Amino acid sequence: MTEPKKAIRKRRRRVGDDARTTGVIEPQKPKRRRRLAGPIVPAWKVAGGEPALPRIQLTLTDQDISRFLEKIDPPNVDGCTLWNASKFAGGYGQFKLKGRSVLAHRVAWTLQRGTIPDDLVLDHVYLRGCRSKACVNTAHLELVTHEENARRRDAAERWRASVWVSTELDEG
């Protein structure tokens, strides 16, 4: 039975007062080089162009509409009509259309109010009682620019953080 190769490089062993070299010299594997990490920026932003996957036009057949309506719960106490099927990791409802997953609240908006312009996004308006990202009630949605949506999101996170801190202090 052959012994496994142990010595990858020269090893020194102390025998008495001497230092002797033992073992067999074998070639070493080249070390794997790592690239320095830079900021993670989508390729289309670097190139100054548009996103690689444009929004698909939400044209719905009768079969798509009936499939969509099956996956909606009745309104809850807050008036939210929640999506009860699969969700993206962030909590937004996900609906399969033409082989691609699309946001369920975008499908609901298209069904009730028409197309969504490419330069606008839908915002779940917290002040209208919407507390869930899975809400597909179009009365809780508003068309805004991406910048306005980000500003509102940041303001809501700051408000939620302040409420959390004040309730923690009150309990103690």
Residues of the chain with pLDDT under 50: 7
Question: Which pLDDT score, from 0 to 100, does residue 98 have?
Answer: 83
Residue 164 phi, psi (nearest 5): -60, -45
- 19-31 per-position pLDDT tens digit: 555 555 556 666 6
Separation between Cα atoms, residue 149 and residue 146, nearest integer Å: 5
Q: Whole-model pTM above 0.85? A: no
Cβ proximity of 102 and 115 under 8 Å: no
The burial of 93, by beta-carbon neighbours within 10 Å (0-12 exposed, 13-18 middle, 19 or more buried), is given as: buried
Partnered with residue 72 across adjacent β-strands are: 83
Cβ proximity of 94 and 100 under 8 Å: no
Question: Which pLDDT score, from 0 to 100, does residue 69 have?
Answer: 92
Question: Which pLDDT score, from 0 to 100, does residue 107 have?
Answer: 92
The burial of 64, by beta-carbon neighbours within 10 Å (0-12 exposed, 13-18 middle, 19 or more buried), is given as: middle
Question: Which pLDDT score, from 0 to 100, does residue 63 have?
Answer: 92
Separation between Cα atoms, residue 151 and residue 135, nearest integer Å: 20
